Structure 1
Amino acid sequence: MGWLSDVLKRNKELEWMYDLDLVCETSQRAYLKKMALETCINFIGRTISQSDFRVMKNGKRQYDDWHYLLNVRPNTDQSAADFWQNFIYKLIDENEVLVILTDTNDLLIADSFVRTEYAVYPDVFSNVVVKDYTFNRTFRMDEVIYLTYNNEKLSQYMDGMFNDYAELFSRMIEISLRNNQIRAIVSVDTTQSLDEDSRGKLQDFIDKLFASFRKNTIALVPKLKGFEYTEVASGDKTGVSVDELAKLKRSLIDDVANILGIPNALIHGELAEYETSIKAYVRFCIGPIIKKIGDELNTKLMTKDRYLKGDRIAVIGLTEKDLVEQAEAVDKLVASGAFTRNEVRELFGKERSDNPELDKFVITKNYQSAGAAEGGESK
């Protein structure tokens, strides 16, 4: 800018114009990153929050303290749905999540902590912070619920891509605004340089004039002697369309969804491929996460002996098949003699019945062996 300063200084009457604010800086598009992460991670979080956590003993559901903590009220400040949604957000966004059990039997999600790893002893968590409170004690691995997502921190991993998208998005908006902006020339009739106070008043008037034209569909401004405002042609009107901006945002969400295993059609609410998308979503995205949660809960809340006897924490949710839609398949499983009715109930996330008849194998005539006589009678 040194050459411009030199040019202006050659004419003392123009020197004051150098200080006028005529250019605005482009804002950062940080909301693009937040939008993509919030859309995809919360989509998974809302799915997991609908899960039902069942404490099973001898095939029967137990309604105890753990049932209440996992399904109703984990702590004094959160419902179960809010807790699990926050749990999933931290797990995916930060690649790990730590849940501690306090002396008052509250499950709390740690905001930060320090993990000390050991080779043959349980790892230890210290400096555990929840909200603004730091716990003075340490927690061993066998005392906490701790999961990792086996991925780099998503926020850091995506920073490079988000920066590129933000730069491209900003440039597209700049082009659109430039092609549709109001362009004008302001002429000031003066034969002497303006002092600082006069320049300030002139700058304020120009700012108000610009704001009036920019914000209002109809703008009236006073015509001053020695001050002329003349609009000029704004050039090409065929800039970037709103649809192109929307496609760019959609593309960013698609990239994040692909990393997390969410079908693009599902995240955008497209019903044309709903059945195929929901199956892929359950199998490749939700299924592995529920398996991680179930394994961790069984490891920490069940002893080895209890687990081997059949006691466990069952996580029932979107991964379970719809019983009404699968009614025909249920009939085939039972009628073929492949499963008992109690086994089929367990396959669909239902509890076993005490009726001993449901533990018997049932077979219809249609599935008799080829050597059997018609009607089921032998000669």
Structure 2
Amino acid sequence: MFGLSAEIHVRELAFWQCTNMIANAVSKCEFKTFQNGKEIKGDEYYRWNVEPNKNQNSSVFLQKMISKLFSENAVLVVEASDGQLLVADSYSRKEYALLEDVFTQVTVGDFVFKRSFTQSDVLFIPLHSRNMRPLVNGLYETYKKLIEYGMKSYTKSRGMKGVLSIDTMAAGDPKAKEIFESIKNEGFKRFADAENAVLPMWKGMDYTDIGSKTYSNEGTRDIRAMIDDVSDFTARAFGVPPALLSGDVQGVSDALDQFLTFCIDPLCDMLSEEINRKLYGKSVLNGDYLQIDTKCVKHVDLLSVSTAIDKLISSGAFCINDIRVLVGEPLIEEEWAYKHFITKNYSTVQDLLAALNQQMDPNTG
């Protein structure tokens, strides 16, 4: 029988597959910091990309933050007195309509903050207006019954069934009844479970096997298909393309683009907006802000994008170091690597018109 623990394993596997995939993607992103519109790498950059607190690096910190966000539909990040960023394990929230919400009993590990925090003191990120997990769990309940039925059917098809015929005279013999009980309780079970066995029979007893075992893989495939269905609708609830969760190679590039567009980019926008309004405030209007760069999530094959790289540089849109950052390579600390180049076949409309007029002017050379 498909027990409760197994049902929970299927459900939790699908949920944490999605959560870990999203958390891994966010942890690969670069948190860029800007001052007066120019990118800088200072204390804030170090805190978000290397060491947010003394016990976690940035990847572990972000993994915990995203896991809390999806498992509890909201996450609270507090700043300790020495500037450490900590993900709260539990807290109590008092909501107000016109005043700032207040957070008390904020707990990180086994430490409980004695002070209370207002909304402006923390990073508080709610995921959805309605928690999706109870809705998905409702679908799990339906599939639980289907999977349980499939397991029963599979077990039944592999079971042993038979008819034991007992002679009329033997049936009335008290000793025969005693023998029958011993066979029924112990003998048949060992006989059915063993790979190789002999079933002792007494006079007046005749056993006939009526089982019709089918050793095809249809039963397991049906169960696997229903488990895959659980993963699919869980992935859709998260905004993750099911193909990524199942590991399908075909169409993975399009699936990854969809994953970035409809899942990672909106999530990172929400995170950066909360960080900017709490840590920078209206200074963002003067060019002081944090930006989460999601371009690092997708692996870049240099050979496959070499033509595009050539166009980006030759058009003057990007310098060499801009491209090296995009492909994950270290910067070249030379002046020429920061210059923008453009090939001679690119020109402005004004220059082209001037050149044409010069060719048509009979008074020119």
Task: Tell me the TM-score range normalised by the shorter chain.
Answer: 0.7 to 0.9
Paired residue secondary structure (1:87): helix
What is residue 161 of structure 2 aligned with on the other side?
Answer: 183
* Aligned partners of 1:93 and 1:153 also within 8 Å: no
What is residue 299 of structure 1 aligned with on the other side?
Answer: 277
- Is 1:234 matched up with 2:196? no
User: Per-residue CA shift, 1:343-363, capped at 9, x if unaligned?
Assistant: 966995999999599577857
**Which amino acid counterpart does residue 371 of structure 1 have in structure 2?**
L
Query: Structure 1 pair 357/300, CA: closer, same or farther in 2 (3 Å)?
Result: same
* Aligned partners of 2:19 and 2:67 also within 8 Å: yes
Q: CA deviation at 1:180?
A: 1.0
* Aligned partners of 2:80 and 2:86 also within 8 Å: yes
User: Per-residue CA shift, 1:79-116, capped at 9, x if unaligned?
Assistant: 32222122112212221111112234432222222221
> CA separation in 1, counterparts of 2:258 and 2:339?
33
Query: Structure 1 pair 40/357, CA: closer, same or farther in 2 (3 Å)?
Result: closer
Q: CA deviation at 1:34?
A: 0.9
**Which amino acid counterpart does residue 290 of structure 2 have in structure 1?**
I
* Aligned partners of 1:266 and 1:278 also within 8 Å: yes
What is residue 133 of structure 2 aligned with on the other side?
Answer: 155
- Aligned to 1:371, which of 353, 356, 362? 353
Unaligned runs of 5+ in 2: none
**Which amino acid counterpart does residue 156 of structure 1 have in structure 2?**
P
> CA separation in 1, counterparts of 2:153 and 2:222?
12
TM-score by length of 1: 0.74
Query: Structure 1 pair 300/326, CA: closer, same or farther in 2 (3 Å)?
Result: farther
What is residue 3 of structure 2 aligned with on the other side?
Answer: 27
* Aligned partners of 1:184 and 1:230 also within 8 Å: yes
Q: Which moved more, 1:43-52 or 1:311-320?
A: 311-320
Q: CA deviation at 1:147?
A: 0.9
- Is 1:316 matched up with 2:293? yes
What is residue 70 of structure 2 aligned with on the other side?
Answer: 92
Paired residue secondary structure (1:182): coil
Matches within 5 A, 1:1-379: 27-28=3-4, 29-58=7-36, 59-64=38-43, 66-183=44-161, 191=174, 206=185, 210=189, 213-214=192-193, 216-219=194-197, 230=207, 232-235=209-212, 237=214, 240-305=218-283, 307-318=284-295, 322=300, 324=302, 326=305, 328-329=307-308, 331-332=310-311, 335-336=314-315, 339=317, 341=319, 348=326, 362=342, 364-369=344-349, 370-373=352-355, 379=364
TM-score by length of 2: 0.76
* Aligned partners of 2:29 and 2:296 also within 8 Å: no
> CA separation in 1, counterparts of 2:333 and 2:118?
39
What is the alpha-carbon root mean square deviation over aligned residues? Answer: 4.2
> CA separation in 1, counterparts of 2:46 and 2:188?
63
Query: Structure 1 pair 211/31, CA: closer, same or farther in 2 (3 Å)?
Result: farther
* Aligned partners of 2:321 and 2:337 also within 8 Å: no
Quick one: percent identity of the two aligned structures? 22
Paired residue secondary structure (1:70): helix
Unaligned runs of 5+ in 1: 1-24, 195-200
Q: CA deviation at 1:300?
A: 2.2
Q: Which moved more, 1:234-243 or 1:295-304?
A: 234-243
Paired residue secondary structure (2:107): strand
* Aligned partners of 2:100 and 2:118 also within 8 Å: yes
Paired residue secondary structure (1:373): helix
> CA separation in 2, counterparts of 1:349 and 1:300?
31
Higher helix share: 2
User: Per-residue CA shift, 1:210-254, capped at 9, x if unaligned?
Assistant: 36743x534578x5989x895632246378521121111112111
**Which amino acid counterpart does residue 373 of structure 1 have in structure 2?**
A
Query: Structure 1 pair 68/239, CA: closer, same or farther in 2 (3 Å)?
Result: closer
